[in-house]
Amino acid sequence: MAKQNNRRKTTTYRKPKKKASTFRKKLIKNAILVFFILLFFGITYHYRDGLAYYFSFKTDKLLDKEAREKRLSDVRNFQVLEKNESKAIGIDVSEYQGEVEWDEVETLDGDYQLSFVFIRATVGNDRLDKRFKENWRNAKENKIIRGAYHYYRPNENSIEQAELFIKTVRLEQGDLPPVLDIERLPENQSVERLKIGLRRWLTKVEEHYQVKPIIYTGERYYDDFLKEEFSDYLFWIANYNFYREKMKEDWLFWQFTEKASVSGIKGNVDVNIFNGDLQQLQFITKE
């Protein structure tokens, strides 16, 4: 008879894994939470003056309807203006602003004096801004330094566009140099051909007015296509980024917002800062 093999059965107990991963997740989660809390308070502190302005804490007045309707964009506008308080401030208008009450166009949000205005005159090779004549005349009558700009269409003849601008705009003593507004890339020609057209427009307009034009464009367009080849020109740059609060040294004008409130104008309006004070602005006007 075979012997029974009476082995003693043993039960193996595995120790539960430590919940290190859970603890680590909680730690990371708490660290992220603390980071965003600090970020929030940092941003709030940085924009404290703008936020105070936004919520009307800087006055003793009760919050009226106008104050309640202030947009968040006003916070950045106020911050930018505070950091550039020594520089001349102006606006630009076209037919899209409708009828402007020029005798009321004095300040931005009732606080910042406006010194100049750029007025759209022409578009492409065949279109006049519907309100150019009245805006051009009324700006002069109300003693606002004025300048005229042409919206350039990349797919149309550059010389014809220059001739339309010259035919439309008569610069007088005290006016700003003419402006070429280029924002789009061509559809049926190369960028190199576009640059040739831009140069032709600029040359023809300079020959007529005997003053070098200014080029308006967005910052990215400027960096990618114009900065090097048109370095002999002065630039008016559009940049609305929330983080930017000061203009670069190589910008003549900076369009920092398209959402501002100006007395005498219904709806939003673009606001610009000149890279200098009022006296320096007057120095670049037509003699």
DSSP string, 201-257: HHHHHHHHHTSPPEEEEEHHHIIIIITTTTTTSEEEEE---TT--S--TTEEEEEEE
Q: What is the pLDDT of residue 246?
A: 84
Residue 260 lies in a domain: yes
* pLDDT for position 215: 98
Asked whether residue 105 carries a pLDDT value surpassing 90, the answer given is yes
Please provide the DSSP assignment of 101-162 as one string.
-GGG--EETTTEE--EEEEEEEETTTEE-TTHHHHHHHHHHTT-EEEEEEE--TTS-HHHHH
**Same-domain status, 97 and 190:** yes
115 shares its domain with 64: no
Residues 28 and 138 reside in one and the same domain: no
256 lies in the same domain as 193: yes
Q: Which of 8-12, 35-39, 167-171, 266-270 has the lowest mean pLDDT?
A: 8-12
Q: Same domain, yes or no, for 95 and 31?
A: no
% residues pLDDT > 70 (the chain): 77
CA distances from 59 to 56, 63, 141 (A): 6, 9, 34
Over residues 142-196, the pLDDT tens digits come to 999 999 999 999 999 999 999 999 999 999 999 999 999 999 999 888 999 999 9
Same domain, 57 and 96: no
**Continuous segment of H or E residues that includes residue 271:** strand 269-274
pLDDT at 75: 81
CATH no. for residue 92?
3.20.20.80
pTM above 0.85?
no
My answer on whether 57 and 149 are in the same domain is: no
Cα 216–218–223 angle (5° rounding)? 105
Asked which of 31-40, 145-154, 233-242 is least confident by mean pLDDT, the reply is 31-40
Domain count, the chain: 2
Q: Can you say whether residue 193 is alpha, beta or left, with left for phi > 0 and alpha for psi between -120 and 50 degrees?
A: alpha
Q: What is the pLDDT of residue 210?
A: 96
277 pLDDT above the threshold of 50: yes
Q: Would residue 175 count as lying in a domain?
A: yes
Looking at the structure, tell me whether residues 262 and 215 fall in a common domain.
yes
| Residue at 13 is within a domain | no
Neighbours of 120 (CB within 10 A): 23
Q: How confident is the model at residue 42 (pLDDT cuts 50, 70, 90)?
A: low
263 within a domain of the structure (yes/no): yes
Does the pLDDT at position 20 exceed 80?
A: no
pLDDT the model gives residue 9: 52
- For residue 3, the 8-state DSSP code is P
**Do 37 and 124 lie in a common domain?**
no
103 & 205 share domain: yes
Average pLDDT on 250-271 reads 93
Q: Is 79 or 175 the better-scoring residue by pLDDT? A: 175
**Lowest pLDDT segment from 77-81, 97-101, 125-129, 270-274:** 77-81
Lowest-confidence segment of 11-25, 49-63, 217-231, 247-261 by average pLDDT: 49-63
Find the domain containing 53 and state its range: 20-70
Length of the chain, please? 287
Residues 48 and 105 in one domain: no
pLDDT band at 2, cuts 50/70/90? Answer: very low
Domain final position from 40, 70, 100:
70
Q: Are residues 27 and 166 in the same domain?
A: no
The residues annotated as belonging to the active site are 92, 183
